[in-house]
Amino acid sequence: MKKVKFLFVVSLILFATSNAQDMRQNSYNSLFSDQKANRIGDAITIIVLESSQASNNASTSAGRESKLGFSGSGSLDQTLLPKANLSIGSQNDFSGSGSTKTTGLIKTKISASIDSIYANGNMRITGSKKISINGEDQIIIVKGIVRPSDIYADNTVLSYNISDADITFEGSGIIDNAQHSGWLTKLFHWLF
């Protein structure tokens, strides 16, 4: 009987040590803490809310005018001298103006992953999203550094909280091709 109890205790100890849990795993799956991305390879959702506006106006006006005139006439007693008139003029006017205005707005959600973690706990993230509709491709790429305190409880981060953010929005397809001038137009612009 003592042998059976001893074997039971030994097998219980061996079973408990073979199924021991890692404390880091327990803290990650805690009931009391949020499951935020904090390891390399973890996914994080980026809410991209970017709006930009820029405008520039320029106006130039210049003028220059120069005139030179000469006129002469005369008479002396009985000798009549011929009359002479000479006039030279020059005028140069320039007027130019230009205006540019740019407005951009991007609203989307992108899933990204953690590439690396710095010594201070900040994380470098990279994510991309490709949308294809009727032959039009739109690609959004987001890269940057996120602080752990900027990650919300639902594992999201706003794009304006990403430092060194590199947000690229590219498109290709019929509409993109229509926005570029053809080779003949480019040739005429180059020549003239």
pLDDT digits (tens, 9 = 90+) for 141-150: 999 999 999 9
Cα separation, 189 vs 192, in Å, equals: 5
Supply the pTM of this predicted model. Answer: 0.52
CB 34 within 8 A of CB 151: no
Classify residue 132: in a domain, yes or no. no
Classify residue 90: in a domain, yes or no. yes
Classify residue 66: in a domain, yes or no. yes
Identify which has the larger pLDDT, 190 or 55: 55
Task: Assess whether pLDDT exceeds 90 at residue 113.
Answer: yes
Classify residue 187: in a domain, yes or no. no
Task: Place 123 in a pLDDT band, splitting at 50, 70 and 90.
Answer: very high
Rounded to an integer, the average pLDDT of 66-88 is: 57
Classify residue 32: in a domain, yes or no. no
Identify which has the larger pLDDT, 185 or 153: 153
Cα separation, 46 vs 52, in Å, equals: 18
Task: Assess whether pLDDT exceeds 70 at residue 92.
Answer: no
Classify residue 80: in a domain, yes or no. yes
Task: Assess whether pLDDT exceeds 70 at residue 127.
Answer: yes
Classify residue 87: in a domain, yes or no. yes
Q: What is the 3-state secondary structure (H, E, C) of 16-77?
A: HHHCCCCHHHHHHCCCCCCCCCCCCCCEEEEEEEEEEEEEEEEEEEEEEEEEEEEEEEEEEC
Q: Looking at the 3D structure of the chain, how many domains does it have?
A: 1
Classify residue 179: in a domain, yes or no. no
In sequence order, the 6+-apart residues with CB closer than 8 A to the CB of 101 are 54, 55, 56
Task: Place 115 in a pLDDT band, splitting at 50, 70 and 90.
Answer: very high
Q: Residue 78's domain spans which residues?
A: 58-98
Rounded to an integer, the average pLDDT of 63-77 is: 57
List pLDDT tens digits, range 29-66: 556 666 777 889 999 999 988 777 777 777 777 666 66
Identify which has the larger pLDDT, 155 or 73: 155
Task: Assess whether pLDDT exceeds 90 at residue 126.
Answer: yes
